Chains A and B, each alone.
Chain A
Amino acid sequence: MHDTSVQAAHHAPPTSFIRKHIFSQDHKVIGKQYYALALFAAIVGMFLSWLMRIHLAWNNAAIPGLQLLSSSGAPGGVMTPEYYLQLMTMHGTIMVFFVLTTAPFAAFGNFFLPIQVGAEDMPFPRFNMMSFWVTFVAFLVLMASFFVGDGPTLGGWTQYAPLNSIGAVGGPGQGTGVVLWAISIALFCVGQLLGSLNFIPTTLDLRVKGMSLMRLPLSAWAWFITSCMGLTAFAVLMPACILVILDHVAGTSFFVASNLVLNDQVLPHSGGSTLLWQHLFWFFGHPEVYIAIVPGIGIVSHVLITNMRRPMLSARVLIYSMGALAVLSYMVYGHHMFVSGMNPFSSLAFSFPTLVITIPSTVVVLIWTFSLYGSKLRINSASLFALGFISMFVSGGVSGFFLAQPSIDIMLHATYFVVGHFHLVMGVAAMFGIFAGTYFWFPKMAGRMMNETLGKLHFWLSFVGAYCIFMPFHYLGMAGNIRRYSTFTDDFLQPLIPVHRFITVAALITGAAQLVFLYNLIHSRYWGKPAPDNPWEATSLEWSTATPPPFDNFGGKHPVVYHDPYQYGVESSVGDYLMQTSPEQVKTEHDEK
């Protein structure tokens, strides 16, 4: 922790358009670039989910124009089953990596972490710029697979071995499609590693005077914990992807066992391990769930406290809980592999930590909920999405009870129950965290207010719509409806088709509701009401600087922090709150703790 004046030497304000807006080293511009990328990726990902849902509900329906995307995958606009799998793979990959990781962590974290700690920028601005552009290239590489040979890979976002390693003999997209997927994800990992390498020293070394670790806002804590997870999780996935590429282009056999036979030919591979991929992938994959959700927990806490006008019951316990979630997230990865052929005793070893993870999750929810008690909650678009996040986090979280137990996983594994569970927790809840952050921080990022009426309309359509889509998934799963199938025409699943149709209609309406958000975002960006410096009467450092913040964040004045981040419900000269920088020497009850 030191005075930030030394940081100005890192880079001078840019003068050219390219340096200012494109290859910018300013963390705020990079944050906006990440947000724009995530927004575009979300539009693509959601569009793909629409196509998939329409096909699931009405198998033989022609979707006008779909043949233009792939004449072989959708002749006459009617999707083939294998094209469904390709779209499903791309939907999952885009949403998990380029939306749920990028927006809450890389976008908001880049913009606000340095400001919240009082720094002028991150310690390695050039790395930071590279982290975005590498991620951008990763996205382009992934999108390119739509336009090569037989299209994108159809192996799912998990890309299980050895299908991911045997090459074009594996079917459509398993040649170039897989190579592009693996290159894209390896590049994405590089981008996130560069980002994490910036986030960690920003938090540890660039805090201004008075900003102790326990005075960091909860959002800053969440980004710090997430960057620690990113550093370790992406460092495992990246080499795993490189091994996949080597299996393809160099004839190695890391993930292909001996004596496998395809098309009556013994494959020219030997000695690899199928389960090795699953171990490597899920050692990344489960922490990834928390990489998507922990920033949401931090953002929602930050937004809620501001709108509750009182401190959290215990911010410290909330921080410890986020830390516990991060540590446990590695210890539980094997619960994805209960029926994988792993030693059955290992399944029990992975089951117990998975059940234990319920405890910090419950603590987080209890602290949020019981902090509402006796508060003066303000209802606005940001707080509505934050409250919606809690509801979704609970709904998706309780279904984790089931999947944590190997005996029940026998019945629910690879069914729509799993799809419902992870979509509620790391899909919808994480998206609600992004929306809460957007409505809350937009004034600071853009210098203008968003339209509240449109924000509330967006919330109601999204909240009710998301429940209509994802709650029925659980029922489908319990009835035995397996996932990754594009048709349910056999006798057993026929009765479930009306449920799929209901979900599809809900998905179309909920998806259309996102256009309200998009309109509000774009319209407010240019024509919204000018935002004051602190429209929400908040306390943390980002609200103590100009709107939008100047290049060096604080206009050459280096803030000094005197208070904990959430001093609400106190009497002060500015109202019922004290800014962290407030020079008033008021020792509050919370400070003394």
Chain B
Amino acid sequence: MAKLFSITIVLIAIFSAIPILRHTWVAPEDISTHGALIDEQMSETMAEAGISFLAAQFILALFIWKFSNRGPDAKIKSFPGGAKGLVIAALLVVGVEVMALGVFGVKAWANVYLDAPSANAMPIQVQAGQFAFYFRYPGPDGKFGGLRPELINEGSQNIFGLDPEHDVDARDDIVAAEMAIPVNKEVHLLMHAKDVGHSFFVRELRVQQDFVPGLDVSLHFTATKVGKYEIVCTQLCGLGHYNMKAYLEVMSQQDFDNWLKQQAGQ
């Protein structure tokens, strides 16, 4: 029974590692300027975690195989070095390993969150509400109009609660249910929730950020590849959560300019 257990653990460990080594299920292609660092960090962590996982399971299997059900005459032995050696090993090997991951991981995190967006990043306001995302572009004047929550009326398509009658800046604002951005242009998302918590996740962009009701949250990134990508809400937001999706279209600058004009005309 002990030997069967040892064999089973080894087989489970090997079968668990095969899909990782064969890259059977991997993250979608990265289309952001910051994603390479995240992917690299992921690969390094996978290597360290994978080696730890395999080593731990194999040693466990080996010791169970060798030291189970020994006869009454067998002698009890202690591992050379005892507990002190193991604690020192854990502090040195695991401590250094995970700390190195942490220190190098800061760089990837800083790229997304600690660096401020550049001055010429394109601002887009995103509003999340049960169960849709809406996107607002500032229009030709480059300014967003103010928001008045009491004016929000989805029936009359005043999604953001704008007051164009009294607010000049709001008059040329462009509101869309789809998000379009130019390729290789830094985008600065200004995010707010209308009602409850939501989240903005685009796998290919390596971007995930919660909307926090009552807070304005900011995020910036640059997409590097033209295409259409899914935006999903990952924060449980109510009965229609499963249906809260939108699409991100990354376009050439010219296509984007045309798209914006088209949206402005609607």
Whether a CB of chain B sits under 8 angstroms from the CB of A18 is no
Q: Which residues of A contact B212 (CB under 8 A)?
A: 274-275, 340-341
Interface residues contributed by chain A, number (CB under 8 Å): 107
Give chain B residues whose Cβ lies under 8 Å from the Cβ of A64: none
> Which residues of chain B are within 8 angstroms of A367 by Cβ–Cβ distance?
83, 86
Q: Does B245 touch A at the CB level, under 8 Å?
A: yes
Q: Are A374 and B76 in contact (CB under 8 A)?
A: yes
Contact among B48, B72, B76, B238 for A163, CB-based, below 8 A: B238
| Given known A-B contacts A264-B152, A339-B210, A344 and B68 have beta carbons under 8 A apart | no
List of A residues within 8 angstroms of B252 by Cβ: none
Partner of B152, one of A261, A359, A406: A261
Instruction: Find residues 89-105 in chain B having any chain A CB closer than 8 Å to their own CB.
Output: 89-91, 94-95, 98-99, 101-102, 105
Q: Is the CB of A162 within 8 A of B213?
A: yes
> Which B1-41 residues have C-beta < 8 A from chain A?
1-2, 5, 8-9, 12, 16, 19-20, 24-28, 37-38, 41
Contact with B along A368-393 (1 / 0, CB 8 A): 01111111111100001001001100
Measured between beta carbons, the chain B residues less than 8 angstroms from A260 are: 149, 193-196, 213-214
Q: Are A264 and B8 in contact (CB under 8 A)?
A: no
Contacts of B89 in A (CB 8 A): 366
Which positions 272-296 of chain A face chain B at CB distance < 8 Å?
A: 272-275
Residues of A within 8 A of B42 (CB): 402, 408, 411
Chain A positions within 8 Å of B245 at CB level: 490
Contact of A355 with B213 in the complex, beta carbons under 8 Å: no
For residue A155, CB closer than 8 A to chain B, the reply is: yes
Interface membership of A497, Cβ < 8 A: no
Say yes or no: B78 contacts A387, CB within 8 Å: no
CB distance from A562 to the nearest CB of B (A): 21
For window 34-84 of B, CB contacts with A under 8 Å fall at 37-38, 41-42, 45-46, 48-50, 52-53, 56-57, 59-60, 63-64, 67-70, 72, 74-79, 82-84
Does B182 have its Cβ within 8 Å of any Cβ on chain A? no
Q: Which of B106-114, B136-144, B166-174 contacts A (4 or more CB under 8 A)?
A: B106-114
Among A272, A356, A377, A569, point to the contact of B98 (Cβ < 8 A). A356
The residue that B238 contacts in the complex, of A170, A387, A390, with Cβ under 8 A, is: A170
- Contact yes or no, A257 B213, CB < 8 A: yes
Partner of A363, one of B87, B106, B114, B193: B87
Query: In the complex, A379→B8 CA distance in Å?
Result: 15
Given the complex of chains A and B, what is the CA–CA distance between A386 and B67 in angstroms?
16
A312–chain B nearest beta-carbon distance, Å: 8
A197 to B170, CA, bound (A): 60
Instruction: Tell which of B70, B98, B105 touches A407, judged by Cβ atoms closer than 8 Å.
Output: B105
A154 at the interface (CB under 8 A from B): yes
Whether A464 sits at the interface, judged by CB under 8 Å, is: yes
Find the A residue at minimum CB distance from B37: A407
User: Would you give the shortest CB distance from A49 to chain B, in whole angstroms?
Assistant: 17
Given the interface contacts A390-B60, A401-B48, A478-B25, does A487 sit within 8 Å of B69 by beta carbon?
A: no
CB distance from B101 to the nearest CB of A (A): 6
Q: Which of B228-266 contact A (CB under 8 A)?
A: 230, 232, 234-243, 245
Give residues 70-95 of A contacting B (CB, 8 Å).
Answer: 81-82, 84-85
Residue of B53, B56, B196 most packed against chain A (CB within 10 A): B196
B residues near A478, Cβ cutoff 8 Å: 25-27
The verdict on A530 contacting chain B, using a C-beta distance below 8 Å, is no
Question: Which residue of chain B has the shortest Cβ distance to A477 in the bound complex?
Answer: B25
In Å, the complex CA distance between A374 and B66 comes to: 8
**Are A480 and B27 in contact (CB-based, < 8 A)?**
yes
Residues of A within 8 A of B214 (CB): 257-260, 272-274
Enumerate chain A residues within 8 angstroms of B37, measured Cβ to Cβ.
407
Mask: chain B, 139-160; 1 = CB below 8 Å from A; 0 = not: 0000000000110111100000
A560 to chain B: which residues have CB within 8 Å? none
CB distance from B155 to the nearest CB of A (A): 7
Q: How far does the alpha carbon of A260 sit from the alpha carbon of B82 in the complex, in Å? A: 60
Q: How far is the CA of A369 from the CA of B62 in the complex (A)?
A: 10
CB <8 Å contact, A264 and B153:
yes
Residues of B within 8 A of A379 (CB): 1-2, 5, 68-69
- Nearest-neighbor residue (CB-CB) of A275 within chain B: B212
Q: Report whether A174 and B238 are in contact in the complex, using a CB–CB cutoff of 8 Å.
A: yes
Q: Closest B residue to A471 by CB, please name it.
A: B16
Instruction: Let me know if A85 and B239 touch, CB within 8 A.
Output: yes
Q: Does A317 contact B (CB under 8 A)?
A: yes
CB <8 Å contact, A486 and B105: no
Q: Complex: how many Å from CA A384 to CA B77? A: 22
Q: A228: shortest Cβ distance to chain B, in Å?
A: 23
Residues in chain B near residue A275, CB distance under 8 A: 212, 215
Q: Which residues of A contact B60 (CB under 8 A)?
A: 369, 372, 387, 390-391, 394
Chain B residue with minimal CB distance to A273? B214
Contact call A408/B105, Cβ cutoff below 8 A: yes
CA distance A128 to B234 in the complex (A): 41
Interface size on B, residues (CB 8 A): 105
Task: Give the docked Cα–Cα distance between A549 and B242 (Å).
Answer: 53
- Cα distance A199–B236 when bound, in Å? 37
Interface contact A410-B207, CB-CB below 8 Å: yes
Q: Is B130's CB within 8 Å of the partner chain A?
A: yes
* A414 partner residues in chain B, CB cutoff 8 A: 199, 201, 208, 234-235
Partner of A482, one of B1, B90, B201: B201
Q: What are the residues of chain A within 8 A of B188 when measuring CB–CB?
A: none
- Do A394 and B57 touch across chains, with their CB atoms under 8 A apart? yes
**Interface check A423, CB cutoff 8 A:** no
Q: How far is the CB of B20 from chain A (nearest CB, A)?
A: 8
Give Cα A82–Cα B152 distance, bound, in whole angstroms.
26
Contact A377 B2 (CB under 8 A): yes
Q: Which chain A residues (456-480) contact chain B, with CB distance < 8 Å? A: 456, 463-464, 467, 471, 475-476, 478-480
* Contact (Cβ within 8 A) A467 B16: yes
| Cβ–Cβ contact A411 & B206, under 8 A | yes
**Given A163-B237, A170-B238, is A261 in contact with B67 using a C-beta cutoff of 8 Å?**
no
B217 interface hit (Cβ, 8 Å): yes
Neighbouring A residues of B78 by C-beta, 8 Å? 313, 373-374
A397 to B37, CA, bound (A): 24
| B184 CB contacts on chain A under 8 angstroms | none
Tell me if A69 is interfacial: C-beta within 8 Å of chain B. no
Residue from the list A372, A479, A483, A568 in contact with B63, Cβ < 8 A: A372
B27 touches A479 (CB 8 A): yes
Contact code string A340-352 (vs B, CB < 8 Å = 1, else 0): 1100110110011
Contacts of A365 in B (CB 8 A): 56
Interface centre among B28, B48, B84, B102 (most CB of A within 10 A): B102
Instruction: Indicate with 1 or 0, residue by residue over A292-316, a CB within 8 angstroms of chain B CB atoms.
Output: 0000000000000000011001100
Are A484 and B241 interface neighbours, CB within 8 A? yes
Q: Which residues of A contact B224 (CB under 8 A)?
A: none
CA distance A406 to B235 in the complex (A): 17
- Is A67's beta carbon under 8 Å from chain B? no
Check A40 for interface membership: any CB of B closer than 8 A. Answer: no
Complex contact A355–B99 (CB within 8 A): yes
Selected contact of B26 from candidates A340, A479, A576, CB within 8 Å? A479
Q: Among the listed B70, B236, B237, B242, which residue makes an inter-chain contact with A376, where contact means beta carbons less than 8 Å apart?
A: B70
* B5 CB, nearest partner CB in chain A, Å: 7
Selected A-B contacts with CB under 8 Å, 18 pairs: A155-B236, A259-B149, A260-B193, A274-B214, A275-B212, A339-B208, A366-B89, A384-B5, A394-B53, A401-B98, A402-B46, A407-B37, A410-B112, A411-B42, A464-B12, A478-B27, A482-B232, A496-B25
The 3 closest A-B pairs by CB, nearest first: A257-B214, A374-B77, A314-B83
